[in-house]
Amino acid sequence: MNNPFALAVRLQQHSPLIHFQHDQPGATLRATELKPKLDKFLITHVFNDDFQAYKKFLVEEIHKALDYKIKIHSPRVRVDEIKHSLFFGNIGKEEKDRVKYVSVPSNEDIKLEILCFRQGLIENIKSCLPEFFAAANFGTRQDKGFGSYYISERDEFLYKDIMTVLPGGTSFIEIHSIEDSIIFSTIAYYYKRLKSGINPNYNAECKPGYQKAYLYKYLDANHDYTWEKRWLKETFFGLTPDNRNKKFARALLGLPGSYSFLATDEPCNPDKDKVRIAHKAEIEVSHKAIGRIQSPLTFKIIKDFNKRVTRVFVLLNTGLIEKINKEICTPSTAFGFTQKFSKKSRSISVPGKMIDVADMIRSYHEKELGYKIKAFFEKKNLEAQIKTI
Protein backbone atom coordinates (compact mmCIF):
# COMPACT_ATOMS: atom_id res chain seq x y z
CA MET A 1 0.00 0.00 0.00
CA ASN A 2 3.06 2.32 0.23
CA ASN A 3 3.65 2.36 -3.53
CA PRO A 4 1.90 5.50 -4.89
CA PHE A 5 1.63 3.92 -8.34
CA ALA A 6 0.10 0.58 -7.31
CA LEU A 7 -3.02 -0.59 -5.57
CA ALA A 8 -3.48 -4.12 -4.21
CA VAL A 9 -7.06 -5.40 -3.93
CA ARG A 10 -8.36 -8.65 -2.47
CA LEU A 11 -11.62 -10.03 -3.90
CA GLN A 12 -13.83 -12.81 -2.62
CA GLN A 13 -16.00 -14.79 -5.04
CA HIS A 14 -19.66 -15.12 -4.03
CA SER A 15 -21.15 -16.94 -7.03
CA PRO A 16 -19.76 -19.12 -9.84
CA LEU A 17 -18.39 -17.47 -12.96
CA ILE A 18 -19.50 -19.00 -16.26
CA HIS A 19 -16.21 -19.15 -18.17
CA PHE A 20 -15.80 -20.06 -21.85
CA GLN A 21 -12.11 -20.91 -21.22
CA HIS A 22 -12.67 -22.94 -18.05
CA ASP A 23 -10.14 -25.56 -19.12
CA GLN A 24 -7.21 -23.13 -19.13
CA PRO A 25 -4.90 -22.88 -16.08
CA GLY A 26 -5.95 -20.08 -13.72
CA ALA A 27 -9.30 -19.48 -15.45
CA THR A 28 -11.00 -16.79 -13.41
CA LEU A 29 -12.16 -13.19 -13.64
CA ARG A 30 -10.70 -11.68 -16.83
CA ALA A 31 -8.91 -8.32 -16.91
CA THR A 32 -10.24 -7.83 -20.46
CA GLU A 33 -13.77 -7.70 -19.02
CA LEU A 34 -12.98 -6.04 -15.70
CA LYS A 35 -11.04 -3.01 -16.97
CA PRO A 36 -13.56 -1.71 -19.58
CA LYS A 37 -16.33 -2.02 -16.97
CA LEU A 38 -14.28 -0.17 -14.37
CA ASP A 39 -13.34 2.49 -16.95
CA LYS A 40 -17.01 3.09 -17.73
CA PHE A 41 -17.91 3.21 -14.02
CA LEU A 42 -15.15 5.77 -13.34
CA ILE A 43 -16.15 7.96 -16.28
CA THR A 44 -19.85 7.86 -15.36
CA HIS A 45 -19.85 7.90 -11.56
CA VAL A 46 -16.56 9.53 -10.58
CA PHE A 47 -16.00 11.98 -13.44
CA ASN A 48 -19.75 12.46 -14.13
CA ASP A 49 -19.21 12.05 -17.89
CA ASP A 50 -17.21 15.29 -17.91
CA PHE A 51 -14.61 14.83 -20.66
CA GLN A 52 -12.52 17.70 -19.34
CA ALA A 53 -12.30 15.99 -15.95
CA TYR A 54 -10.97 12.67 -17.22
CA LYS A 55 -9.22 13.40 -20.55
CA LYS A 56 -5.82 13.78 -18.85
CA PHE A 57 -6.14 10.16 -17.65
CA LEU A 58 -6.85 8.65 -21.08
CA VAL A 59 -4.42 6.47 -23.02
CA GLU A 60 -5.49 8.41 -26.12
CA GLU A 61 -8.20 11.05 -26.34
CA ILE A 62 -9.97 9.27 -29.20
CA HIS A 63 -10.60 6.21 -26.99
CA LYS A 64 -12.32 6.08 -23.61
CA ALA A 65 -9.66 3.81 -22.13
CA LEU A 66 -8.10 5.11 -18.93
CA ASP A 67 -4.35 4.74 -18.53
CA TYR A 68 -3.79 2.00 -15.94
CA LYS A 69 -3.26 -1.74 -15.99
CA ILE A 70 -4.78 -4.61 -14.03
CA LYS A 71 -3.12 -7.90 -13.22
CA ILE A 72 -5.19 -10.71 -11.72
CA HIS A 73 -3.65 -13.41 -9.56
CA SER A 74 -5.98 -16.29 -8.79
CA PRO A 75 -5.50 -19.19 -6.37
CA ARG A 76 -6.66 -22.68 -7.30
CA VAL A 77 -10.06 -22.77 -8.97
CA ARG A 78 -12.77 -25.41 -8.99
CA VAL A 79 -14.43 -26.28 -12.30
CA ASP A 80 -18.02 -27.58 -12.22
CA GLU A 81 -20.83 -28.46 -14.59
CA ILE A 82 -23.54 -25.82 -14.95
CA LYS A 83 -26.78 -27.39 -13.74
CA HIS A 84 -28.98 -24.36 -13.23
CA SER A 85 -32.02 -23.59 -15.39
CA LEU A 86 -30.90 -19.96 -15.72
CA PHE A 87 -28.25 -21.02 -18.28
CA PHE A 88 -29.24 -22.62 -21.59
CA GLY A 89 -25.97 -22.44 -23.52
CA ASN A 90 -25.06 -26.12 -23.11
CA ILE A 91 -28.30 -27.58 -24.44
CA GLY A 92 -27.54 -30.09 -27.20
CA LYS A 93 -23.76 -29.81 -26.82
CA GLU A 94 -21.34 -32.67 -26.34
CA GLU A 95 -19.30 -32.88 -23.15
CA LYS A 96 -16.13 -31.50 -24.76
CA ASP A 97 -17.97 -28.43 -26.05
CA ARG A 98 -19.86 -27.51 -22.88
CA VAL A 99 -19.17 -24.26 -21.08
CA LYS A 100 -18.53 -24.69 -17.34
CA TYR A 101 -18.22 -22.41 -14.39
CA VAL A 102 -15.27 -21.72 -12.16
CA SER A 103 -15.12 -20.70 -8.52
CA VAL A 104 -12.51 -19.92 -5.89
CA PRO A 105 -12.89 -21.41 -2.38
CA SER A 106 -14.34 -18.98 0.16
CA ASN A 107 -11.24 -19.11 2.35
CA GLU A 108 -9.03 -17.80 -0.46
CA ASP A 109 -8.94 -14.49 -2.29
CA ILE A 110 -8.34 -13.36 -5.84
CA LYS A 111 -5.71 -10.64 -5.84
CA LEU A 112 -5.80 -7.64 -8.16
CA GLU A 113 -2.78 -5.50 -8.84
CA ILE A 114 -3.64 -2.12 -10.32
CA LEU A 115 -0.71 -0.18 -11.77
CA CYS A 116 -1.02 3.48 -12.73
CA PHE A 117 1.50 6.27 -13.30
CA ARG A 118 -1.01 9.07 -13.90
CA GLN A 119 -1.03 11.26 -10.80
CA GLY A 120 -4.43 11.31 -9.14
CA LEU A 121 -6.01 8.42 -11.05
CA ILE A 122 -5.09 5.70 -8.55
CA GLU A 123 -6.89 7.68 -5.81
CA ASN A 124 -10.02 7.90 -7.94
CA ILE A 125 -9.92 4.16 -8.59
CA LYS A 126 -9.44 3.38 -4.91
CA SER A 127 -12.35 5.61 -3.89
CA CYS A 128 -14.91 3.82 -6.07
CA LEU A 129 -13.97 0.13 -5.87
CA PRO A 130 -16.53 -0.91 -3.20
CA GLU A 131 -19.34 0.83 -5.13
CA PHE A 132 -18.15 -0.67 -8.41
CA PHE A 133 -18.03 -4.28 -7.21
CA ALA A 134 -21.31 -3.85 -5.31
CA ALA A 135 -23.08 -3.13 -8.60
CA ALA A 136 -21.21 -5.39 -11.05
CA ASN A 137 -21.21 -9.07 -11.95
CA PHE A 138 -19.08 -10.73 -14.62
CA GLY A 139 -19.19 -13.39 -17.32
CA THR A 140 -22.20 -14.98 -18.98
CA ARG A 141 -25.67 -14.53 -17.39
CA GLN A 142 -24.28 -11.94 -15.02
CA ASP A 143 -27.65 -10.20 -14.66
CA LYS A 144 -29.00 -13.43 -13.09
CA GLY A 145 -26.32 -13.45 -10.37
CA PHE A 146 -23.45 -15.39 -11.92
CA GLY A 147 -19.94 -13.99 -11.55
CA SER A 148 -20.43 -12.03 -8.32
CA TYR A 149 -17.28 -10.72 -6.62
CA TYR A 150 -16.84 -8.23 -3.81
CA ILE A 151 -14.02 -6.73 -1.77
CA SER A 152 -12.88 -9.40 0.69
CA GLU A 153 -13.33 -8.83 4.40
CA ARG A 154 -9.67 -9.80 4.62
CA ASP A 155 -8.80 -6.60 2.74
CA GLU A 156 -8.35 -4.31 5.74
CA PHE A 157 -7.80 -1.20 3.60
CA LEU A 158 -10.70 -1.33 1.12
CA TYR A 159 -13.49 -3.50 2.56
CA LYS A 160 -16.83 -1.87 3.34
CA ASP A 161 -20.03 -3.67 4.35
CA ILE A 162 -22.12 -3.76 1.16
CA MET A 163 -25.18 -2.77 3.21
CA THR A 164 -23.53 0.65 3.66
CA VAL A 165 -22.42 0.90 0.03
CA LEU A 166 -25.63 0.23 -1.91
CA PRO A 167 -28.30 2.98 -1.94
CA GLY A 168 -30.88 3.09 0.81
CA GLY A 169 -34.12 1.47 -0.28
CA THR A 170 -32.38 -1.33 -2.20
CA SER A 171 -34.30 -4.60 -1.79
CA PHE A 172 -32.70 -7.97 -1.14
CA ILE A 173 -33.78 -11.58 -0.75
CA GLU A 174 -32.35 -13.15 2.39
CA ILE A 175 -31.83 -16.91 2.19
CA HIS A 176 -30.60 -19.03 5.09
CA SER A 177 -28.34 -21.09 2.87
CA ILE A 178 -25.18 -20.61 0.81
CA GLU A 179 -25.88 -23.52 -1.57
CA ASP A 180 -25.73 -22.32 -5.18
CA SER A 181 -28.54 -24.64 -6.26
CA ILE A 182 -30.91 -23.05 -3.73
CA ILE A 183 -29.78 -19.50 -4.49
CA PHE A 184 -30.16 -19.75 -8.28
CA SER A 185 -33.44 -21.62 -8.01
CA THR A 186 -34.71 -18.77 -5.83
CA ILE A 187 -33.65 -16.19 -8.42
CA ALA A 188 -35.26 -18.23 -11.21
CA TYR A 189 -38.53 -18.49 -9.26
CA TYR A 190 -38.52 -14.78 -8.38
CA TYR A 191 -37.86 -13.68 -11.97
CA LYS A 192 -40.24 -16.13 -13.65
CA ARG A 193 -43.08 -15.25 -11.30
CA LEU A 194 -42.46 -11.59 -12.12
CA LYS A 195 -42.03 -11.78 -15.89
CA SER A 196 -43.57 -14.95 -17.34
CA GLY A 197 -45.51 -16.66 -14.55
CA ILE A 198 -45.15 -20.01 -12.82
CA ASN A 199 -46.82 -22.82 -14.75
CA PRO A 200 -44.62 -25.94 -14.46
CA ASN A 201 -47.17 -28.29 -16.03
CA TYR A 202 -48.83 -25.90 -18.48
CA ASN A 203 -52.19 -26.50 -16.86
CA ALA A 204 -53.44 -23.72 -14.65
CA GLU A 205 -56.66 -25.37 -13.52
CA CYS A 206 -55.58 -28.85 -12.51
CA LYS A 207 -52.12 -28.49 -10.98
CA PRO A 208 -51.07 -26.58 -7.85
CA GLY A 209 -48.36 -23.98 -7.94
CA TYR A 210 -49.66 -21.92 -10.90
CA GLN A 211 -49.05 -18.19 -10.60
CA LYS A 212 -49.94 -15.60 -13.24
CA ALA A 213 -47.00 -13.29 -14.02
CA TYR A 214 -47.03 -10.19 -11.85
CA LEU A 215 -46.08 -8.10 -14.89
CA TYR A 216 -49.51 -8.94 -16.34
CA LYS A 217 -51.25 -7.99 -13.08
CA TYR A 218 -49.28 -4.76 -12.78
CA LEU A 219 -50.10 -3.69 -16.34
CA ASP A 220 -53.74 -4.57 -15.80
CA ALA A 221 -53.91 -2.35 -12.73
CA ASN A 222 -51.82 0.57 -13.93
CA HIS A 223 -51.96 0.84 -17.73
CA ASP A 224 -54.48 0.99 -20.58
CA TYR A 225 -52.88 -1.98 -22.35
CA THR A 226 -52.08 -5.60 -21.58
CA TRP A 227 -49.13 -7.78 -22.54
CA GLU A 228 -48.63 -9.79 -25.71
CA LYS A 229 -49.47 -13.33 -24.54
CA ARG A 230 -53.13 -13.25 -25.53
CA TRP A 231 -52.19 -11.60 -28.86
CA LEU A 232 -49.90 -14.58 -29.58
CA LYS A 233 -52.75 -17.02 -28.99
CA GLU A 234 -55.15 -14.95 -31.06
CA THR A 235 -52.67 -14.58 -33.91
CA PHE A 236 -51.19 -18.07 -34.13
CA PHE A 237 -53.68 -20.44 -32.47
CA GLY A 238 -57.12 -19.06 -33.23
CA LEU A 239 -58.18 -17.69 -29.86
CA THR A 240 -61.17 -15.39 -30.31
CA PRO A 241 -59.87 -11.78 -30.32
CA ASP A 242 -61.02 -9.37 -27.65
CA ASN A 243 -60.91 -5.59 -27.86
CA ARG A 244 -58.00 -4.99 -25.48
CA ASN A 245 -54.95 -2.97 -26.51
CA LYS A 246 -51.95 -5.32 -26.52
CA LYS A 247 -48.24 -4.46 -26.47
CA PHE A 248 -44.98 -6.42 -26.43
CA ALA A 249 -44.39 -5.52 -22.77
CA ARG A 250 -42.14 -8.41 -21.74
CA ALA A 251 -39.44 -7.12 -24.09
CA LEU A 252 -38.85 -4.21 -21.71
CA LEU A 253 -37.65 -6.61 -19.01
CA GLY A 254 -35.30 -8.45 -21.39
CA LEU A 255 -35.90 -9.51 -24.97
CA PRO A 256 -36.73 -13.21 -25.39
CA GLY A 257 -35.52 -15.00 -28.50
CA SER A 258 -38.64 -17.11 -28.81
CA TYR A 259 -41.78 -18.39 -27.08
CA SER A 260 -42.65 -22.07 -26.74
CA PHE A 261 -46.15 -23.48 -26.44
CA LEU A 262 -46.78 -27.11 -25.50
CA ALA A 263 -49.64 -29.08 -27.00
CA THR A 264 -52.77 -28.98 -24.82
CA ASP A 265 -56.11 -30.77 -24.81
CA GLU A 266 -57.94 -28.00 -22.98
CA PRO A 267 -60.99 -26.52 -24.74
CA CYS A 268 -61.04 -22.98 -26.03
CA ASN A 269 -62.29 -20.52 -23.41
CA PRO A 270 -61.76 -16.84 -24.31
CA ASP A 271 -62.82 -15.69 -20.84
CA LYS A 272 -59.91 -17.63 -19.35
CA ASP A 273 -57.41 -16.86 -22.14
CA LYS A 274 -57.30 -20.55 -23.09
CA VAL A 275 -57.09 -22.23 -26.46
CA ARG A 276 -56.43 -25.74 -27.64
CA ILE A 277 -52.95 -26.14 -29.14
CA ALA A 278 -52.73 -29.29 -31.24
CA HIS A 279 -48.95 -29.49 -31.56
CA LYS A 280 -45.94 -28.08 -29.76
CA ALA A 281 -45.06 -24.74 -31.32
CA GLU A 282 -42.20 -22.28 -31.17
CA ILE A 283 -42.57 -18.65 -32.16
CA GLU A 284 -39.40 -16.72 -32.88
CA VAL A 285 -38.95 -13.02 -32.12
CA SER A 286 -36.93 -10.70 -34.37
CA HIS A 287 -36.16 -7.09 -35.22
CA LYS A 288 -33.94 -5.88 -38.06
CA ALA A 289 -31.96 -3.49 -35.82
CA ILE A 290 -32.49 -4.71 -32.24
CA GLY A 291 -30.91 -8.04 -31.42
CA ARG A 292 -30.95 -7.78 -27.65
CA ILE A 293 -32.59 -5.81 -24.86
CA GLN A 294 -30.79 -6.33 -21.57
CA SER A 295 -32.86 -6.85 -18.44
CA PRO A 296 -32.92 -3.72 -16.26
CA LEU A 297 -32.72 -5.98 -13.19
CA THR A 298 -29.46 -7.43 -11.87
CA PHE A 299 -29.20 -9.90 -9.01
CA LYS A 300 -26.11 -9.37 -6.84
CA ILE A 301 -25.26 -12.34 -4.64
CA ILE A 302 -23.37 -11.78 -1.39
CA LYS A 303 -22.77 -14.70 0.97
CA ASP A 304 -22.00 -14.57 4.67
CA PHE A 305 -19.89 -17.72 4.78
CA ASN A 306 -19.67 -17.73 8.58
CA LYS A 307 -23.41 -17.39 9.25
CA ARG A 308 -24.30 -19.39 6.11
CA VAL A 309 -26.72 -16.72 4.97
CA THR A 310 -27.03 -15.25 1.47
CA ARG A 311 -28.37 -11.88 0.45
CA VAL A 312 -29.45 -11.47 -3.15
CA PHE A 313 -29.73 -7.76 -3.90
CA VAL A 314 -32.22 -6.72 -6.59
CA LEU A 315 -30.48 -3.88 -8.41
CA LEU A 316 -32.17 -1.54 -10.89
CA ASN A 317 -30.06 -0.27 -13.79
CA THR A 318 -31.46 3.26 -13.99
CA GLY A 319 -29.21 4.19 -16.90
CA LEU A 320 -30.48 1.24 -18.91
CA ILE A 321 -34.09 2.02 -18.00
CA GLU A 322 -33.64 5.55 -19.35
CA LYS A 323 -32.01 4.17 -22.51
CA ILE A 324 -34.87 1.71 -23.13
CA ASN A 325 -37.39 4.49 -22.64
CA LYS A 326 -35.56 6.75 -25.09
CA GLU A 327 -34.42 4.29 -27.76
CA ILE A 328 -36.84 1.34 -27.62
CA CYS A 329 -40.18 2.80 -26.48
CA THR A 330 -40.95 4.63 -29.71
CA PRO A 331 -44.08 4.52 -31.92
CA SER A 332 -42.11 2.85 -34.71
CA THR A 333 -40.59 0.01 -32.66
CA ALA A 334 -42.36 -3.23 -33.56
CA PHE A 335 -41.03 -6.78 -33.32
CA GLY A 336 -41.75 -9.58 -35.74
CA PHE A 337 -43.10 -12.93 -34.54
CA THR A 338 -42.73 -15.95 -36.81
CA GLN A 339 -43.99 -19.45 -36.12
CA LYS A 340 -41.16 -21.92 -36.68
CA PHE A 341 -41.66 -24.30 -39.64
CA SER A 342 -44.41 -21.99 -40.88
CA LYS A 343 -44.48 -18.89 -43.05
CA LYS A 344 -46.94 -17.14 -40.76
CA SER A 345 -45.45 -13.93 -39.42
CA ARG A 346 -46.96 -10.93 -37.65
CA SER A 347 -45.67 -7.92 -35.72
CA ILE A 348 -46.58 -6.07 -32.52
CA SER A 349 -45.24 -2.83 -31.07
CA VAL A 350 -43.74 -2.20 -27.65
CA PRO A 351 -45.32 0.22 -25.15
CA GLY A 352 -44.75 3.90 -25.92
CA LYS A 353 -43.28 4.52 -22.48
CA MET A 354 -41.05 2.45 -20.22
CA ILE A 355 -42.72 0.69 -17.30
CA ASP A 356 -41.99 2.22 -13.88
CA VAL A 357 -39.75 -0.67 -12.89
CA ALA A 358 -39.00 0.59 -9.38
CA ASP A 359 -42.71 0.96 -8.59
CA MET A 360 -43.49 -2.45 -10.08
CA ILE A 361 -40.80 -4.14 -7.95
CA ARG A 362 -42.04 -2.45 -4.77
CA SER A 363 -45.57 -3.54 -5.58
CA TYR A 364 -44.40 -7.07 -6.48
CA HIS A 365 -42.72 -7.51 -3.12
CA GLU A 366 -45.64 -6.12 -1.13
CA LYS A 367 -48.77 -7.25 -2.95
CA GLU A 368 -47.67 -10.42 -4.70
CA LEU A 369 -44.97 -11.99 -2.53
CA GLY A 370 -45.84 -10.52 0.84
CA TYR A 371 -42.10 -9.94 1.41
CA LYS A 372 -41.32 -13.65 1.40
CA ILE A 373 -40.85 -16.67 -0.85
CA LYS A 374 -42.19 -19.61 1.10
CA ALA A 375 -43.92 -22.22 -1.03
CA PHE A 376 -40.85 -22.78 -3.16
CA PHE A 377 -38.85 -23.84 -0.08
CA GLU A 378 -41.36 -26.14 1.62
CA LYS A 379 -39.45 -29.35 0.82
CA LYS A 380 -36.29 -27.91 2.38
CA ASN A 381 -38.15 -26.31 5.31
CA LEU A 382 -36.75 -22.90 4.35
CA GLU A 383 -38.23 -19.48 3.78
CA ALA A 384 -36.68 -16.54 1.97
CA GLN A 385 -37.45 -13.08 3.33
CA ILE A 386 -37.52 -9.93 1.20
CA LYS A 387 -36.05 -6.98 3.04
CA THR A 388 -34.84 -3.44 2.32
CA ILE A 389 -31.62 -1.65 3.22
Distance CA 350, CA 254 (A): 12
Structure confidence at residue 329 (pLDDT): 97
Q: Of the segments 57-61, 280-284, 317-321, which one has the largest average pLDDT value?
A: 317-321
CA atoms of 99 and 266, how far apart (whole Å): 39
Predicted TM-score of the model (pTM) = 0.89
- Mean pLDDT (the chain) is 86
Q: What is the 3-state secondary structure (H, E, C) of the chain?
A: CCCCCEEEEEEEECCCEEECCCCCCCCCCCHHHHHHHHHHHHHHHHCCCCHHHHHHHECCCCCCCECCEEEEECCCCEEECCCCCCCCCCCCCCHHHCCEEEECCCCCCEEEEEECCCCCHHHHHHHHHHHHHHHCECCCCHHHCCCEEEECCCCCCCCCCHHHHCCCCCEEEEECCCCHHHHHHHHHHHHHHHHCCECCCCCCCCCCCCECCHHHHHHHHHCCCECCHHHHHHHHHCCCCCCCCECCCHHHHCCCCEEEECCCCCCCEHHHCECCCCCCEEEEEECCCCCCCCCCEEEEEEEECCCCEEEEEEEECHHHHHHHHHHHCCCCCEEEEEECCCCCEEEEECCCCCCCHHHHHHHHHHHHCCCEECHHHHHHCCCEEEEEC
C-alpha pair distances (Å), 167 with each of 131, 134, 170, 172, 348: 10, 10, 6, 12, 37
Q: Is the pLDDT of residue 93 over 50?
A: no
pLDDT in tens, 155-201: 999 999 999 999 999 999 999 999 998 898 899 889 999 999 887 65
d(CA 242, CA 227): 13
Domains annotated on the chain, with CATH: 6-165 (3.30.70), 180-388 (no CATH)
pLDDT tens for each residue of 6-26: 999 999 999 998 865 545 555
